[in-house]
Amino acid sequence: MGAKNKIERYIKTWEQKGYSNGIPDDAPSELEKRGLVPSYRMICITLMRNPHNLEKLGIAREKCKIYSDLKRAELIRKGKLKNDNQLKINFYEKER
């Protein structure tokens, strides 16, 4: 999902939370930093700092499926997670 779609979703979410006339251009900076109010100023600051992940707007990064599979395999290997038979790749055995 691109930055444009994430920002549109951010604006729609705040409009549903009570900003039906649109979000303001700016708001008290202390409230913006805590994520309690939206503003276009916060969107601009976030885009200038790092337009790829938009974490300052409260948008979580998308998790990589490969990382999740590797982490699950590691937990199974350590015995902290039962093998659910869905993960059939064994990353830790050497090929013969």
pLDDT at 93: 53
Cβ atoms 39, 24 nearer than 8 A: yes
Answer whether 0.75 is exceeded by the pTM: no
Residue 85: pLDDT above 70?
no
**Cα angle vertex 31, ends 28, 33, to 5°?**
105
**Cα angle vertex 18, ends 4, 2, to 5°?**
10
Number of residues that this document lists for the chain: 96
Q: Please name the residues in contact with 42: beta carbons below 8 A apart, sequence gap of 6 or more.
A: 27, 32, 56, 57
Tell me the mean pLDDT in the region 36-63.
Answer: 79
Residue 96: pLDDT above 70?
no
Residue 35: pLDDT above 60?
yes
